[in-house]
C-alpha cells in the first residue's frame, strides 16, 4: 500500500496566522481581538459542528473586554500551544480554532493583513508545523528555534 503520511495542517496554520497577527500588533492585533469577540458571541453556532471533538468550558474563557486590553504577546501567549506557559488557555485556543469563519467574513481586510505580516506568520507556521510536528516524525526529534 502506498498510503504515505497525512498531517492535518489547515487548523494549525489558521491558529499560527492568528498568533502572528497578534504578535504584529496594530491592525493585526485589532482584527484578532475582533475575531475573538465575535467568536464568543457566536460560540454555540461555531462550536456545534465540532461538539464531539472539542471541550470548551465557557467559564475559563476571558471576556472580550479583558482581551481587548491585551498586548499582542498576551494574546499569543494565551493561544500558542505551550503547556509550560502560564498564560496558555486551551479553552481560548479551542474557540479560536473553530472560529475561522469569522475571519472569512473579514475578507480582504484579513487577507491584506496576512500579506503584510507574511514574515512573522511564516516563522510561526514553520516553527509549529515543521519544527514541532514534522521533524519529530522524520528526524526523531523536534527542532528548537531561538527567537
pTM for this predicted structure: 0.88
pLDDT, tens digit (0-9, with 9 covering 90-100), for 31-60 = 999 999 999 999 999 999 999 999 999 999
pLDDT of 6 reads 59
pLDDT, tens digit (0-9, with 9 covering 90-100), for 76-123 = 999 999 999 999 999 999 999 999 999 999 999 999 999 999 999 999
Per residue, the 3-state secondary structure of the chain, as one string, reads CCCCCCCCCHHHHHHHHHHHHHHHCHHHHHHHHHHHHHHHHCHHHHHHHHCCCCCCCHHHCCCHHHHHCCCHHHHHHHHCCCCCCCCCCHHHHHHHHCCHHHHHHHCHHHHHHHHHCHHHHHHHHHHHHHHHHHHHHHHCCCCCCCC
Amino acid at each position: 500500500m502506498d498510503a504515505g503520511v497525512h498531517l492535518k495542517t489547515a487548523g494549525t496554520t489558521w491558529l499560527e496566522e492568528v498568533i502572528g497577527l497578534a504578535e504584529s500588533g496594530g491592525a493585526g492585533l485589532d482584527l484578532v481581538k475582533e475575531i475573538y469577540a465575535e467568536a464568543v458571541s457566536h460560540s454555540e453556532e461555531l462550536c456545534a459542528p465540532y461538539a464531539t471533538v472539542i471541550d470548551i468550558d465557557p467559564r475559563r474563557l476571558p471576556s472580550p473586554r479583558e482581551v481587548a486590553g491585551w498586548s499582542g504577546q498576551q494574546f499569543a501567549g494565551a493561544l500558542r500551544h505551550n503547556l509550560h506557559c502560564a498564560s496558555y488557555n486551551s479553552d481560548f485556543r479551542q474557540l479560536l480554532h473553530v472560529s475561522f469563519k469569522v475571519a472569512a467574513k473579514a475578507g480582504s481586510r484579513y487577507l491584506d493583513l496576512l500579506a503584510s505580516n507574511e514574515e512573522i506568520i511564516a516563522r510561526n507556521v514553520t516553527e509549529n508545523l515543521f519544527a514541532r510536528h514534522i521533524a519529530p516524525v522524520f528526524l526523531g526529534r523536534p527542532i528548537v528555534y531561538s527567537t
